[in-house]
Structure 1
Amino acid sequence: MYSLDKRNSQDNPYRYINSFAKFGSKDGYKPGLERIEQLLAYFGHPESKLKIIHVAGSNGKGSTIAFLESIYYSAGYRVGAYTSPHLLEFNERIRVNKELITTTELAEIVAEIKAAVKWLSTTPYGRPSYFEIVTVIAFLYFYRKGVDLVMLEVGLGGRLDATNVIKKPLLSVITSISLEHTAILGDSIIEIAREKAGIIKSNCPVLTAVNNKDALEVIRELSVNNKATLKSIDNLFTFILKESGLEGQVFTLKYRGLGLKAAGLEEGKNREKFKELEGDYFIKLAGKHQLRNAVLAVAVVAENTPEFKVDKQDLIAGLKTAFIPGRIELFSKKPQVLLDGAHNPESLSSLIEFLLSNTGELGKKIVVLSILKDKDIFAMIRLFKLLDSVELIITDNGNERALPPEKIKSIADELGIPNLLYPDIRTAIKQALLKISEGDFLCITGSLYTVGAAKKYLLSNNS
């Protein structure tokens, strides 16, 4: 739908964008804000003319943004969303009112950017990375589309991420913190928290769903240093799961008001602002972990008034319709095929918890698995021992950062988890589908890249 013929088009924007080094390749990670500052200055700093909610975290960024995007869209605002990575098409990364940027719009911006990149490449700053270029495209697009509000997802870390070029967000949001990208962000929760909390700006409110004590203390410290009011959803609300299944869940939200001072609240008007949000909510996204993301989005909406007022009915509608593909996504019922982009121990643990709660009466559980190199592989694979009647179908998702499947197999063998190895994801899925019968369950996971490759194959096979 969004592809151009790479053989015949000299103006193919995807070809140009893909010419820049991606994360995981040489020069694909360029921490620092100097290059993107120069590029944005070339275009008159479009990012400074946007109202932005900046979202960082180890897990939950995409889901939190999906909730916020849907809520503000339901309330009638013109909403921009910038997320990564994409699942099927590049254009998924840049959206306005849930509509993807078109190839024509992308080509127009790319045509303008080329001169700026050519100039920058002759300076000591050098050629930008893939992520830097895409971030500039997003800012230019949102500015020219006249959006009311932008949901901006951090790419990696926070402090040195290209998105952190923004000076004055409406809110800084930190979803969760766990060990990831340790070679870059640090090998402790405290170090990683400091990198992610680097998005906190002077006098800009901070909202978080982080519940790790050490990480939360780092966020608190940086908030105080920046005179930024900090609110934690655990101070603000209690939320209780009422119903859960493959097609969504219902939870009850109640105002808690514990530690008002620590939460940056005072009695009176602020208290009522949060208390009026009490009630039952339905979300389409499955998995208990999505409750924290949904509640965080509710807290963001409450904090972001009165400038961006949202009626409770719009809040209910936005939460109900929010969807993000590849996150505990039930692709088909017969056979039962579940797609989930769990990419680290924390997110995989959430998936396993969901499977234990919702697939207990099923027979065999077949898991097609491919993981990226820079993950805690042993901790991830060990989690599958929690499942009864599980068999891993280990493969390669085709991404340049994919871990050789032989290494995954050696760990599965060491842990005594039944497994088979196939060289590519198409073969792995074919073989997995042959192995399951009625009452069995197929889950494809390990990375969003794994889910993207699998979904492309499954869609083409069903068409």
Structure 2
Amino acid sequence: MDPYKYINSLSRFGTDAGFKPGLDRINALLGSFNHPEDRLKVIHVAGTNGKGSTIAFLKSIYTEAGYRVGVYTSPHLIHFNERIEVGNRAISTAELTDLVSELVPRVEDLKKDPEVGGPTYFEFVTALALLYFARKDVDLVLLEVGLGGRLDATNVIKEPLVSVITSISLDHTSILGNDVKSIAREKSGIIKRDCPVVTGVRNKEALRVIEETAKLKNSPLKIIDKEYSYNIIESSLEGQSFTVFRLNNGDYSLEKEAESINGTEKIEYFIKLPGVYQVRNALLAMAVVDYLQEQYPVNLVQIKKGLASAFIPGRMEVLARSPLIIADGAHNVEGVKKLVNSLGPLINEDRQFYIIVGILGDKDVEGMIEMLDFGKAKKELIITRNTNSRSCSPEVIGQYAQRRGIKYRVYPDLKTSLTGVLNDARPEDVICVTGSLYTVSEAKILVQSGIKHNSQS
């Protein structure tokens, strides 16, 4: 059996006639294996942006501390197997084949039950991952929500070690709701009774919903902005160094240990992920680690090493240096805003910016284009499309750029757009590829295959 062919044959978004959102299908599928998810220790991570980065920091820290960590994220950037990892190793094709072969008969049984029905793509993969982690006897699972939270397949987890909500802004409005409060209610659906919550959410309306949900569920709530502060010492494409402070003179266990090592000197942390917003994601991960110290002890040296070695592809990732090619999978207004802020230090009067953008049609395309009209930078928008079936037409994106008076040109695909830009760009210029992780994935493959060399030969 070809596991990839089977998985890709499954319904992506439950568009089949009579489909009902909910957890019944994945519960039934996992129930046929005696609920392996109930044997897992899970950190459940939801949020509009920052989920993948926060998980990357947690994975790196806990792996450095010697724990066997299972990681489930989506979407993948290059290979499907990236979605499921144990001990920094992606699931093999052989393992995937065996699991799919084992799951398929159970799926066929469910299809015969009109009250349940067959699982979607994401439900099937989530069930497969949870079964895999249980059999691999992992110490800890880092589980990323796919969409929303309340009805997401990952919400089959009944008692997480901690629920994490990274940030909340408008995205997937056709599914989650048209305002921040509605989206916050969906994402707060991962909060379970008596299970702790850690959040980096700053939006007041969204935070109010989280606080109300936590109170209703009797769930202890840690809001990082009420407990921690940080100071960025240096930020560049090579990474960032920062210090962390505990507010209200509280007992911050990591800093307490630091004082015993270095006296009163503040500890400086370093992350190699560029983008100033990544410091908040690192702080959120540190807050989770601090919260779980009794169950999963980690010392200061392991935290520092873990933070320093963490990496996530497709987020402010430097693909080439001359000209500088940066790939960032920002796929909503908030993500593009953070990208633009991170590009700010690169702006000067001599440098030209080429922003290659391919966006999915169900996003706030107009809002994203508005955000890309940044400052006084010399820039040109290069509008294209990725190969995803949901990709927005370049002509539609061009209409939004035209309304803003942004200089732009249109290419039919990523290969021709990259080739065209590389023919024009000088060594000192910047090419930024963004709009979707699908766009970034295709661009990364093209750059790695040598398109730069070919275009300049």
TM over 0.5, shorter chain: yes
Instruction: Look up the match of 2:86.
Output: 96
Residue number in structure 2 paired with 1:416: 405
Give 1:35's match in structure 2, choosing from 11, 14, 25: 25
Superimposed CA distance per residue, residues 65-103 of structure 1 (whole angstroms, 9 cap, x where no aligned partner): 000000000000000000000000000000011111000
Larger deviation, residues 408-417 vs 360-369: 360-369
In structure 2, the residue corresponding to 1:134 is in which secondary structure?
helix
Q: Does 1:244 align with 2:224?
A: no
**In 1, distance between residues paired with 2:17 and 2:424?**
42
Residue from 310, 313, 316 that aligns with 1:325: 313
1:375-454 alignment runs, 5 A limit? 375-387=363-375, 388-454=377-443
Instruction: Look up the match of 1:212.
Output: 203
Cα separation, partners in 2 of 1:330 and 1:38, compared to 1, 3 Å: same
Q: Return closer, same or farther for 1:272/1:182 CA change in 2, 3 Å cut-off.
A: closer
SS at match of 2:373: helix
1:194-233 superposed matches below 5 A? 194-233=185-224
Structure 1: stretches of 5+ with no match in the other structure: 1-10, 259-266
Q: What is the DSSP-based 3-state SS (H/G/I as helix, E as strand, rest coil) of the residue aligned with 1:257?
A: helix
- For 1:280-429, list aligned pairs within 5 A: 280-360=268-348, 363-387=351-375, 388-429=377-418
- The residue that corresponds to 1:6 in the other structure is none
Contact 1:209/1:232, CA 8 A, preserved across alignment: yes
**1:141 aligned partner, one-letter code:** Y
Hey, what does 1:151 align to over in structure 2?
142
Give the stretch that moved more between structures: 374-383 or 68-77: 374-383
Give the Cα–Cα distance (whole angstroms) in 1 for the partners of residues 17 and 6 of structure 2: 16
**How much does 1:27 deviate?**
7.0
Q: Say if 1:21 and 1:27, in contact at 8 Å, map to a contact too.
A: no
Taking the TM superposition and a 5 Å limit, the aligned residue runs for 1:126-137 are 126-137=117-128
Shift of 1:31: 2.5
2:47–2:166: 8 Å Cα contact kept in structure 1? yes
Q: Percent identity?
A: 50
1:4 is aligned to none
Pairing 1:60–2:60 present: no
Match of 1:139 among 127, 130, 138: 130
Secondary structure of the 2:205 match is helix
Task: Please say if residues 248 and 283 of structure 1, whose CA atoms lie closer than 8 Å, have aligned partners that are also in contact.
Answer: yes
Structure 1 residue 126 displacement after superposition: 1.3
In 2: Cα distance, 1:27 partner to 1:91 partner = 30
| 1:361 Cα deviation from its structure 2 partner | 6.0
Structure 1 position 177, deviation (Å): 0.1
The alignment's TM-score, normalised by the length of structure 1, stands at 0.93
Q: SS of the counterpart of 2:160?
A: coil
Q: Which moved more, 1:248-257 or 1:110-119?
A: 248-257
Aligned counterpart in structure 2 of residue 188 of structure 1, from 179, 203, 206: 179
Choose from 96, 99, 112 the match for 1:122: 112
Counterpart CA distance in 2 for 1:257 and 1:92 is 41
Cα offset for 1:274? Answer: 5.4
Structure 1 contact 153–163 (Cα < 8 Å) conserved: yes
**Which runs of no fewer than 5 residues in structure 2 stay unpaired?**
259-265
CA-CA distance at 1:252 after TM superposition: 1.0
Secondary structure at the residue paired with 1:92? helix
How far apart, in 1, do the equivalents of 2:444 and 2:14 lie?
23
State the distance in 2 between where 1:303 and 1:153 align.
19
Cα-to-partner distance string for 1:382-409 (whole Å, 9 max, x where unaligned) = 1122141110110111101111111000
- Decide which of 442, 447, 450 is 1:458's aligned counterpart: 447
2-structure distance, mates of 1:55, 1:362: 42
Paired residue total? 442
Shift of 1:461: 2.5
Could you tell me how far 1:183 is from its partner in structure 2? Answer: 1.1
One-letter code of the match for 1:87? L
Correspondence for 1:257: 248
Q: TM-score when scaled to structure 2?
A: 0.94
Match of 2:449, SS state, is helix
Q: Does 1:111 align with 2:101?
A: yes
- Counterpart of 1:173 in structure 2 is 164
Change (3 A) 1:325 1:431: same
Equivalent residues of 2:166, 2:201 under 8 A apart: yes
Residue number in structure 1 paired with 2:262: none
1:395-428 deviations in Å (ceiling 9; x for gaps): 1111011111110001101111011101111111
State the alpha-carbon separation in 1 of the partners of residues 414 and 372 from structure 2: 19
Partners of 1:208 and 1:29 in 2: how far apart? 32
CA distance in 2, matches of 1:218, 1:300: 20
Q: CA deviation at 1:30?
A: 5.7
Q: Say whether the 8 Å CA contact 2:246–2:252 is kept in structure 1.
A: no
- Structure 1 CA distance, aligned partners of 2:151 and 2:62? 28
Query: 1:362 deviation in Å?
Result: 5.3
Residues 218 and 353 (structure 1 numbering): CA distance in 2 closer, same or farther, change over 3 Å? same
Summarize deviations over 1:91-134 as a string: whole Å, max 9, x none.
Answer: 00000111110000100101100110000111121121000010
1:427-462 Cα offsets, whole Å, 9 max, x none, are 111111111012111000001011011111222226
Name the amino acid aligned to 1:426: K
Higher deviation after alignment, 353-362 or 297-306: 353-362
C-alpha RMSD over aligned residues:
1.6
- Measured against aligned partners, the alpha-carbon deviations of 1:219-243 in whole angstroms (never above 9, x if no partner) come to 0000000000000111111111110
Q: How far apart, in 1, do the equivalents of 2:20 and 2:140 lie?
A: 28
